[in-house]
Amino acid sequence: MVEVNGEDIDAQRQWQQQLAALGAEPDMPDWEPAAYENWQLAERRLLNPGSAGGPAFLVSLRPATGPMPSWQAGDIAEVLPGANDPARIAAYLSACGLGRDVEVEGKSLADHLSRALIPDHPVESAGELVAALRPLPHREYSIASVPGDGSLDLLVRQVERTDGTLGLGSGWLTHFASPGGAVSLRLRANEGFHAPAGGRRLILIGNGTGLAGLRGHLRQSRAEGRGGHWLLFGERSRAHDALLPGEVDGWLADGTLTASTAHGRAMRTAGAMCSTCWPKPRRTCGTGWKTAPRSSSAAAFRAWPRRLTTPCAVRWATNGWKRWPKPGSIAAISIEAVIS
């Protein structure tokens, strides 16, 4: 649900994003552009060396000037990519038969294309190209930290297109933006994914970089002295894809988490169970809380262990996850990935 109060630009952007999720043109310019702030890329660290999947990075940002702004766990960072992949620009200009140094309005075509959406189809002339250009769109990332951490952290999977060039937003954050360099970013409140009131225990489910928003919640909860949550995290291989194993161990040790289980098959099983726990089983995509229905929560949670397949059950048992939470003690479940 998107609540709109007056001319709430934040809500309009949420609405626009929901339309894109339903199939509207994803690269449309913002209806009401909100200002970006200047941030600095403080650190970038590869989290899954040796993985069979795409590289995933921890990207830490700090405001270029002034104090850390405020946000809550669950909020979103909208990043304006600083430039297109130069290889994409070169390939597009070559497909059009245009030289990169051809000047229009005092700028080379390569410069024009650097900060503009590259058209889907080749054009016939440099003038036609420049007239057709639209500004680069932003990309959204779940914030993986809280302001008290001293940095705004993102977990970003580098997307590689079929032609070998890098995705616009992920390529910018994981490759083209230089450490110490500038990043344009704005914060968007995401009320639907703020922690439920009452400080109750949470079941957090995610895979891959879906860990980002969950990390934000665990860090917020830890800072507030709350704990007892569960984390179900899925990735291909425990050896290479755990992303932040040290942090998870730390949360288990200090009680922020009372249970955590990981990866591939276990995750899919947990996801399937999750869908079947609800009166209307459904596939779930994206970031949000699925609050357990009061009437059926007891039965739903009791049904969980029976639905486990062996590898998952073994893993849960070895994690000491033998006792199920009292029905009703779980406020909500967060699902941060497409689960099938």
Ligand X SMILES: Cc1cc2nc3c(=O)[nH]c(=O)nc-3n(C[C@H](O)[C@H](O)[C@H](O)COP(=O)(O)OP(=O)(O)OC[C@H]3O[C@@H](n4cnc5c(N)ncnc54)[C@H](O)[C@@H]3O)c2cc1C
Does 141 bind ligand X (CB under 6 A)? Our answer is yes
Q: Per CB under 6 A, which of residues 315..334 are in contact with ligand X?
A: none
Q: E-assigned strands of 198-251?
A: 201-207, 229-234
Work out how close the CB of 322 gets to ligand X at its nearest, in angstroms, rounded to a whole number.
32
- Using alpha carbons, select from 188, 153, 170, 173 the residue that is nearest to residue 34: 188
Nearer to ligand X, 144 or 277 (CB): 144
Which alpha helices (H) appear in 100-161, and where do they start and end?
109-114, 126-132
Nearer to ligand X, 57 or 301 (CB): 57
Look at the chain and count its residues: 340
- Cβ atoms of 88 and 64 closer than 8 Å: no
Burial of 212 (0-12, 13-18, 19+ CB in 10 A): buried
**Count of residues engaged in binding ligand X, rule: CB under 6 A:** 18
Stretch that binds ligand X, among 150-158, 227-235, 267-275, 314-322 (CB under 6 A): 150-158
Does 14 bind ligand X (CB under 6 A)? Our answer is no
Q: What is the DSSP letter of 152?
A: E
> In Å, what is the CA distance from 300 to each residue of 111, 148, 273?
57, 36, 9
b or e along 104-131 (b: 16 or more beta carbons within 10 Å of the residue's beta carbon)? beeeebbbbbbebbbeeeebeebeebbe
For the chain, give percent helix, strand, coil, nearest 5: 35, 25, 40
Nearer to ligand X, 140 or 191 (CB): 140
User: What is the C-alpha to C-alpha distance for residues 1 and 6, in angstroms, rounded to an integer?
Assistant: 16
**Which residues are CB-neighbours of 332 under 8 A, at least 6 positions away?**
196, 200, 202, 203, 289, 290, 291, 292
Nearer to ligand X, 73 or 212 (CB): 212
Q: Per CB under 6 A, which of residues 248..307 are in contact with ligand X?
A: 287
Stretch that binds ligand X, among 164-172, 229-237, 251-259, 308-316 (CB under 6 A): 164-172
Does 159 bind ligand X (CB under 6 A)? Our answer is yes
Q: Per CB under 6 A, which of residues 89..128 are in contact with ligand X?
A: none
Contact pick of 140, 149, 191, 247 for ligand X (by CB under 6 A): 140
Tokens (6 digits) for 189: 């409140």
Contact pick of 84, 145, 184, 209 for ligand X (by CB under 6 A): 209
Contact pick of 118, 168, 277, 330 for ligand X (by CB under 6 A): 168
Contact pick of 13, 112, 139, 217 for ligand X (by CB under 6 A): 139
Work out how close the CB of 207 gets to ligand X at its nearest, in angstroms, rounded to a whole number.
11
Stretch that binds ligand X, among 29-37, 108-116, 161-169, 222-230 (CB under 6 A): 161-169
108, containing H or E segment: strand 107-108
Work out how close the CB of 274 gets to ligand X at its nearest, in angstroms, rounded to a whole number.
19
Work out how close the CB of 102 gets to ligand X at its nearest, in angstroms, rounded to a whole number.
25
Stretch that binds ligand X, among 28-36, 59-67, 165-173, 243-251 (CB under 6 A): 165-173
Residue ranges binding ligand X (CB under 6 A): 76, 139-142, 155-157, 159, 161, 167-171, 209, 212, 287
